[in-house]
Structure 1
Amino acid sequence: MKNELYGLVVCGGQSTRMGSDKSLIDYHGKPQRYYVYEMLEWICDKVFISCNRTQTEGVTKPYEILADLPAYDNIGPMAALLTAFKTFPDHDFLVVGCDYPYISNKDLKEFLKSLDSKTVASAFYQKENAIYEPLLAWYSRKSGAELVTMFNKQQYSLQHFLREHNAGKYDPPRPKNIVSVDTPEEYQTAKEQITRKSQF
């Protein structure tokens, strides 16, 4: 039987640098969390919006929610994955954060083709800065137990997790597409570029 791949749209909390919830920002004619969700629907067998409990009230149907479990409150994005593996321990997850307005369906499909199933996880990688993008990543079902071990040691960094487990490093052919947008100024630039591109 084919191993089902689940998609996880990670909303995160209120960004202090952006000053508002990044998952609600509109780059493509709808809130980013819905745009990413619909993009993942083309790739994954099932998709969920991962958010904290206060954000769940604003998510409209037919989008499915996976709210962070109370045990994982206030630990950052790792809460999304711990909740996902606790709920669906037998699935792999493709994780996409709402900070990446340039990411495309094509980028994600190419990434999935590059995966080595023997690795615990794999992520888009910034060679220039030698850092993983933990919220543009694939986490195999094997990650679940390893993340719990980290959580029990009060270690909550997904960057650390990916380094510790020698996760796959995916060097994207279009590195500009993995730029994270974190401030109002960056948002304005991204919005203008995306709007201009859509007009051609």
Structure 2
Amino acid sequence: MKKNASMAALVLAGGKSSRMGEDKALMTWEGKPMLQRVCQTAAVFCNSVYILSPWPERYHQLLEGNYELLLETNPGGGPLVALLQGLIMISTRLSVDWLWLLACDLPRLQTEKLQDWINQLSEVEQNSYAIVPQNQGRWEPLCGFYRLEVISPLENFIAQGGRSFQQWLCELPTTAIPVGKEEAAMLWNCNRPEDFRLVNG
């Protein structure tokens, strides 16, 4: 796999995990905490991997490597607000074209399929702000790629009260990545204890 110098990764680890009952980021999948697994996958492709969380102190010992923990300043604002904060913070640290947004609970990511998606970044039309998987008409924004130029339209959307990722991406010039059965399985995330036990037991 080849690292993409024009891209950084942002992993969101700020969800309440209310249905799960414990911090999903720390739950073990095949012997490894899910947050660590996602970060290691991101590091295959990115020189810079950031983790945005309201409680970064939880993850210091877990994340040994070239990762940087960022303090989420508006916890509870939702993933769209978290994306905006991450974009702004990373734009002051790096000169990259793309931000790869990832949820911390995507334990089934496949590097070969991700490489295919990342290869498409150089071919995306200039007027497209994002390239995001789309499954049966619904976006999968927490494994999507966003140009840093999207900061301004995202700020405007949030300032007008927008919080829906689906609505924003439908309004934004976005390139869709078609999702089939294999990709849908890769993008599965775990929200309930019984789901986790079923597939990880």
Under TM normalisation by the shorter chain, which class is it?
Answer: 0.7 to 0.9
1:30-109 equivalent positions in 2, closer than 5 A: 30-52=32-54, 55-60=55-60, 61-62=63-64, 63-68=67-72, 70=73, 72-89=74-91, 90-91=95-96, 92-109=98-115
| Pairwise CA distance, 1:36 | 0.8
SS in 2 for 1:88: helix
Distance in 1 between the 2:31 and 2:111 partners? 16
SS in 2 for 1:18: coil
Contact 2:105 2:189 in 1 (8 A): yes
Letter in structure 1 aligned against 2:191: D
Contact 1:22 1:99 in 2 (8 A): yes
Give the corresponding residue for 1:186.
195
Matched length: 185
Distance in 1 between the 2:87 and 2:100 partners? 12
Q: Structure 2 unaligned runs (5+)?
A: none
Tell whether 2:163 aligns with 1:156.
yes
Letter in structure 2 aligned against 1:139: Y
Q: Residue 166 and residue 189 in structure 1: after superposition, are their counterparts in 2 closer, same or farther (change >3 A)?
A: farther
Distance in 1 between the 2:14 and 2:8 partners? 18
| Pairwise CA distance, 1:39 | 0.9
Once superposed, which parts of structure 1, at least 4 consecutive aligned residues long, lie more than 2 Å away?
Answer: 88-91
| Pairwise CA distance, 1:117 | 4.4
Contact 2:129 2:172 in 1 (8 A): yes
Distance in 1 between the 2:23 and 2:133 partners? 23
Give the corresponding residue for 2:179.
172
Give the corresponding residue for 2:143.
136
SS in 2 for 1:142: helix
Identity %: 24
Letter in structure 2 aligned against 1:97: A
Give the corresponding residue for 1:123.
132
Letter in structure 2 aligned against 1:106: E
Distance in 1 between the 2:187 and 2:44 partners? 19
Contact 2:81 2:158 in 1 (8 A): no
Tell which deviates more after alignment, 164-173 or 150-159. 164-173
Give the corresponding residue for 1:9.
11
Distance in 1 between the 2:174 and 2:23 partners? 29
Letter in structure 2 aligned against 1:57: E
TM-score (norm 1): 0.84
Alpha-carbon displacement from aligned partner over 1:15-71 (angstroms, at most 9, x marks no partner): 22111221111113221111111111110120011111xx21111253411222x3x
Query: CA RMSD, aligned part only?
Result: 1.9
Contact 1:125 1:133 in 2 (8 A): yes
Q: Residue 75 and residue 180 in structure 1: after superposition, are their counterparts in 2 closer, same or farther (change >3 A)?
A: same
